[in-house]
Structure 1
Amino acid sequence: MTVAIVGAGAAGAAIAYALRDADADVTVFEKSRGVCGRAATRRKEGCRYDYGANYVKDDDERVTRLLTEELDTNGLVEVEEPVWTFDSAGEISPGRDSDERKWTYEDGITQLAKRLFAATDATVQRETRVETVAREEGRWSLADAADTVLGSFDTVVLTPPAPQTAELLAAMAWDDDRRVAAHDAVAAVDYASVFTAVLHYPFTLDRSWYALIDTDGEHPVGWLAREELKPGHVPEGESLLVAQMGHDWSGDRIDDDRDQVLREAVGHVAELLDDDRFAAPDWTDRQGWRYALPDGGVTGDAHRSTEDAGLYFAGDWVAGEARVHAALRNGFAVGERIVEARNAKTY
């Protein structure tokens, strides 16, 4: 059985892992240079920082077992400090602390996908953007923007954000009502944009919380986290804030000049912390995530109707929950259904 996975994010990595013992020839096509999608890590000035998803929660028993027992646990770290809240007026309060565990890695959250792929024989082709998918003589053919054929496969799994998956479905050479129904269902998934500001300071921040979350959804800052509380991420005596700006605020500015948006974000962070020192970080980074968080998930089962033809969909937008553990869980489920289909069919 030959399987193509479009996208090397958390869901794609989980699918490859689920297929590791299935006697399957798996190829993963990833448009960027890295893996793990929005669970992303960068390095700068001696710091490591998770600038998309901040950590993996222990909300799923299967995922917890994966991180703590199945994969290499070397460098797996836990954020122990609590998450506090603030409102639209910027009033900060305790109250989001819970018993949930928050995991990442000393080398950053992208290690999750790297370790999943390392446990498989899957081939990961980075910097390879799939532009067209076609159904030809009972198999799936993939090609890039230059119309270079990337291969022919029994099974294809599409894991990009729903709007990009919908584009692939719209252009897909497959004259079948199931494709049309799947496209309409996938295209209906709404997404929120998020602008991320990364702010470094040559001093320590003396606060009792790891992160702050806006409970009203109306403040310019949606989430503010202290990366120095993740072991191995920030040198001692320094602070690194990762600000995920609010959905409305980010959506209104996602196409604006990134440096100007960053300057505005810095001002809002300094105001929230009520400390002028935070208006002057000594270095910064930023990322605009156009398709950051799905608003709910795909409805109905039209996206499942294509599975008997070997076309599957996976991701947090399929799971209906914008969390890394949800993407992993969905990826495992899709991988298991592919194995079941293989066992019921001779390729």
Structure 2
Amino acid sequence: MFDVAVIGAGMAGLSCAQRLRQAGYSVAVVEKSRGAGGRVATRRVQGSRADHGARYLEPQGDAVQGLIEALVDRHILKLWTDCVWQLRQGKLSAIPSSCYVAPAGMNAVGKYLAEGLEIWFGRRVKAISRTDSQMWHLSLEVTDDNLDIPQELIAKAVVVAIPAPQALMFLNSEMGFSPDFIDKLRSVEYDPCITVMAGYSAARKSDLNNLNPQWKSVSFPENSDLAWVGLDSTKRLDPQQPVFVVHSSANFADRHLESADLATVGQELLDRTSEYLIPWLKQPEWLQVHRWRYAFCRNPLPVSCLAAEGTLPLVCAGDLCGEGQIEGALRSGLAAANWVNSQLQDLPLDASLNW
């Protein structure tokens, strides 16, 4: 039995769990994937790393600024570029912006925030119910081959730190949650994104040196198919080959989200990218594609976290609340920790944003 069960090991879940753990609560984090960080994600491909989720961290507010400073001090993050580029009406223009990345992969941010936490990876919450002793009972579904971790969890309080549509798979009015609480969760909408990771022959390194592009990050605010392209290999300390990451627009992702042939979808995005940036981008040595069904929260709720009233302590947190994006997720996680603490022992919590 734990004091608190946190569902989801993304930015909100990790910040919430850390604040509660540091206050003295026993906390278990349940995560359906194999790693921490959620959409701050990195994949190993063909001996290279590619950040297929969050592109970089930039100072959005006090929460992210403090996290950046802590991670730079620990040599986890470095400044990648001091400007981002936009392509509008066929012209590239630079916009000043400090972008920080992890040479080891952006998932290093999640690993850092997960230090000291008990996280049950490879477990998806299948159902949630109340016990006779007024506790929450979580039934867990195995999503990997790790059978050593139990398939149920008992806790006094629950923090749901996953996208609203996923939360609604096990939160419903039949369990006694108010219609208002459920309606608010149902109102939250997300834009999807399809991400392509593409590696190129090592010989292309000399081509890049000759081209000497000024950009490392290019956004496409007016494009119907493309949202962003990054020269991902420039984040690494010793890249063996050029690696690019391409993010689709929401419209493109909507059209292709259920496609069974993701390789063809990825190639289509590379073809479009090659038209605007470098012709040989349509000829990768390898490519992988990832679909993010809930990439960006389109209309976050105007609250720091969403508590369920009239039941055992349960609160929803994440980029579905507040400001959205990483700043909103971190702040929502901390707000959820404060709310859970008020429902349990009301222990002294660290009010600062020190990471």
Other structure's SS at 1:277 match: helix
CA distance in 1 between counterparts of 2:71 and 2:17 reads: 15
Tell me if the contact between 2:305 and 2:316 (Cα under 8 Å) persists in the aligned partners: no
Tell me if the contact between 1:227 and 1:233 (Cα under 8 Å) persists in the aligned partners: no
| 2:352 aligned residue | none
C-alpha deviation, 1:173, in angstroms: 5.8
| 1:267 aligned residue | 271
| Letter aligned with residue 141 of structure 1 | H
C-alpha deviation, 1:193, in angstroms: 1.0
C-alpha deviation, 1:332, in angstroms: 1.7
Structure 2: tracts of 5 or more residues without a match = 143-149, 348-355
| 1:224 aligned residue | 229
Tell me if the contact between 1:131 and 1:145 (Cα under 8 Å) persists in the aligned partners: yes
Question: Alpha-carbon deviations, 1:139-164, whole Å to 9, x = none?
Answer: 21100248x85121111011111111
C-alpha deviation, 1:71, in angstroms: 8.7
TM-score, normalised with respect to structure 1: 0.87
Match 1:215 to one of 216, 221, 237: 221
| Letter aligned with residue 309 of structure 2 | T
C-alpha deviation, 1:55, in angstroms: 1.3
| 2:340 aligned residue | 338
Number of residues paired by the alignment? 330
| 1:40 aligned residue | 41
Tell me if the contact between 1:8 and 1:28 (Cα under 8 Å) persists in the aligned partners: yes
| 1:254 aligned residue | 257
CA distance in 1 between counterparts of 2:286 and 2:3 reads: 46
| 1:17 aligned residue | 18
Identity across the alignment (%) = 25
RMSD of the TM alignment (CA)?
A: 2.4
| 2:164 aligned residue | 162
CA distance in 2 between counterparts of 1:130 and 1:308 reads: 19
CA distance in 2 between counterparts of 1:156 and 1:305 reads: 10
| 1:242 aligned residue | 245
| Letter aligned with residue 135 of structure 2 | R
Tell me if the contact between 1:7 and 1:30 (Cα under 8 Å) persists in the aligned partners: yes
| Letter aligned with residue 109 of structure 1 | M
CA distance in 1 between counterparts of 2:216 and 2:55 reads: 11
CA distance in 2 between counterparts of 1:272 and 1:301 reads: 40
| 2:120 aligned residue | 125
Other structure's SS at 2:168 match: helix
Tell me if the contact between 1:72 and 1:115 (Cα under 8 Å) persists in the aligned partners: no
Structure 1: tracts of 5 or more residues without a match = none
Tell me if the contact between 2:104 and 2:236 (Cα under 8 Å) persists in the aligned partners: no
CA distance in 2 between counterparts of 1:269 and 1:47 reads: 21
CA distance in 2 between counterparts of 1:276 and 1:224 reads: 14
| 1:296 aligned residue | 299
Tell me if the contact between 1:134 and 1:173 (Cα under 8 Å) persists in the aligned partners: no
Question: Alpha-carbon deviations, 1:219-267, whole Å to 9, x = none?
Answer: 31111111122143733xx321110011101111011121121121121
Question: Alpha-carbon deviations, 1:296-328, whole Å to 9, x = none?
Answer: 21257993343873101111112342x223212
CA distance in 1 between counterparts of 2:72 and 2:158 reads: 26
| 1:195 aligned residue | 194
TM-score, normalised with respect to structure 2: 0.85
Other structure's SS at 2:333 match: helix
C-alpha deviation, 1:174, in angstroms: 2.2
CA distance in 2 between counterparts of 1:34 and 1:241 reads: 23
| 2:108 aligned residue | 111
Other structure's SS at 2:169 match: helix
Tell me if the contact between 2:304 and 2:331 (Cα under 8 Å) persists in the aligned partners: no
C-alpha deviation, 1:283, in angstroms: 1.3
CA distance in 2 between counterparts of 1:233 and 1:289 reads: 28
Tell me if the contact between 1:181 and 1:303 (Cα under 8 Å) persists in the aligned partners: no
Other structure's SS at 1:36 match: coil
Tell me if the contact between 1:199 and 1:285 (Cα under 8 Å) persists in the aligned partners: yes
Tell me if the contact between 2:82 and 2:99 (Cα under 8 Å) persists in the aligned partners: no
| Letter aligned with residue 290 of structure 1 | R
| 1:60 aligned residue | 61
Alignment of 1:128-139 (within 5 A): 128-137=123-132, 138-139=134-135
CA distance in 2 between counterparts of 1:66 and 1:276 reads: 38
Question: Alpha-carbon deviations, 1:85-127, whole Å to 9, x = none?
Answer: 113x5x13214223xx322212111111211121x3x310000
Q: 1:228 to 1:70 in 2, by over 3 A?
A: closer
CA distance in 1 between counterparts of 2:153 and 2:235 reads: 41
